Chains A and B, each alone.
Chain A
Amino acid sequence: MTSALTARGLTKRYGRRTALAECTLEIPAGRVVALVGPNGAGKSTLLNLAAGLIRPTSGEIEVLGDTPACSPDQLARVGFVAQDAPTYAGLTVADHLELGRRLNPRWDHRLAERRIDDLALDPRQKAGRLSGGQRAQLALTLALAKRPELLLLDEPAASLDPLARRELLQGLMTHVVDHGASVVLSSHLVSDLERVCDHVVVLTGSHVQLAADLDEVTGTHYRLTGDARDLDELPPGAELVHSTGTDRHRTVVVRSALPVVGDRTQVEPLGMEDVVLAYMARAASPAPRPDSPAEAVR
């Protein structure tokens, strides 16, 4: 299977500020990828690099086997919706569709019109007068009707209420069923992504902390709770992700390829949201315990 996105040592600096540091990643095609992390972690930077809007300071990135934005052909295969779904305030909804039609050779105008219809958007309405949610849906329509092989969505549902979020993700999933496409969607809200994504990339502090299929993530992370002394030594083959608690009672999140069984400690498998939170917590307080090394997990 080809790779949707490959990054090798990808770094982006703005003056003294590092937005993305030595990012190495391979996202397989045909997946719906959740790119998660706190604000300022580098998610937007990664997506903008993948869309060809910015260029790396060092390292390389390849999208669908090619340098981003290297040719009209490559541009046609990638759909991008930027954060806050920018639109031309003075152009109507219909104008935006016309823009899509004129600038994209693979444009599916029927798909676009049908979506606008289903969303009950007035084609004659100027984009500047639409609500935030409607603008997000319009921007997504532009990206979908282009029939790209890869969709890059930067916080597409950030400013939407829960119902509108659900509708947007629903429309996205329906599109994936009907037309097939790899999707990378970034979010700092994790809760409703588990049902929608099948690959997870966790980005914190400009670094990649975790990149794996969802099944692997949920199948290899465990939460151990118990006496601090019992948890001094981790089960064989387990790596520490994050540890909290007091000197007497600790809660530890570990990653282990082998099944973990607790004798005197309580062991629970974790859902995606809890795993992501553990990595985000680790990044927020990076000081490791003296005798358990904390490693970046790939």
Chain B
Amino acid sequence: MIRFHLDAASGVAPYLQIVQQVRHALRLGLLREGDQLPTVREVVSTVTINPNTVHKAYRELEYAGLVTPRPGLGTFVTGSLAGDVPAASYVRLRAGLVRWIEDAQQAGLDDESVEALVHGTLREHLRVTS
């Protein structure tokens, strides 16, 4: 079950943060079709947040075709953002990434250097291939 968190200092509206966190989880395959989103009450009791904000976020996700409310049962994921990429690919790629990170750390890179290397390479590569 996904757990939400609110970052008060981020400048992003609370409901948008919820929407983004659901979309993010969908992309990463942490949430899949058929999974149930936490009920409004569950969210409110773990995160200090206005219930209307949660309703609003779930409505927005519904309009985006990503979730569907089933009265009396809850809100369930019905769409996906992962595209045609099967979940297994995500798992494999993630594992590869973890191995590469361990490799970099063994080579002597600190956390900041790892991040800089990843970001720099990503930017360069995306620029070249887009």
Contacts and interface: CB of A to CB of B under 8 A. Distances in A.
B41 A178 contact: yes
A198 B44 contact: no
Given A178-B41, A192-B8, A198 B48 contact: no
Interface stretch (B23-31, B50-58, B85-93, B94-102): B50-58
B49 to A, nearest CB: 5
Contacts of A31: 52
B6 A177 contact: no
B83 interface: no
B38 interface: no
Contact of A196 (B41, B45, B48): B48
Tier of interface size on chain A: 20 to 34
Contact of B45 (A170, A198, A271): A170
Interface residues of B, number: 16
Contact of A195 (B6, B11, B41, B45): B6
Which of B14, B40, B49, B52 is most buried by chain A, counting CB atoms within 10 A of its CB?
A: B52
Contacts of A169: 48
Nearest to A31: B52
B122 interface: no
Interface string B1-30: 000001010010110000000000000000
A169 B47 CA distance: 10
A194 B14 contact: yes
A275 interface: no
Contact of B51 (A176, A191, A192, A271): A176
A92 B41 CA distance: 32
Nearest to A183: B50
**Is chain A's interface secondary structure helix, strand, loop, or mixed overall?**
helix
B50 A174 contact: no
A176 B43 CA distance: 13
B11 A177 contact: no
A271 B45 CA distance: 24
Given A177-B41, A178-B41, A196 B11 contact: no
Contacts of A195: 6, 8, 14, 47-50, 53
Most buried by A among B6, B48, B49, B50: B50
B40 A194 contact: no
Nearest to A30: B52
A173 interface: yes
A177 B45 CA distance: 9
A173 B6 CA distance: 15
Contact of A174 (B13, B44, B52): B44
Given A170-B45, A178-B41, A191 B8 contact: yes
Interface of A: 30-32, 166, 169-170, 173-174, 176-178, 191-192, 194-198, 215, 218, 269, 271
29 contacts: A30-B52, A32-B50, A32-B52, A166-B48, A170-B44, A170-B45, A170-B48, A173-B44, A173-B49, A174-B41, A174-B44, A176-B44, A177-B41, A177-B51, A178-B41, A191-B8, A192-B8, A192-B48, A194-B8, A194-B14, A195-B8, A195-B47, A195-B50, A195-B53, A198-B53, A215-B13, A218-B13, A271-B11, A271-B13
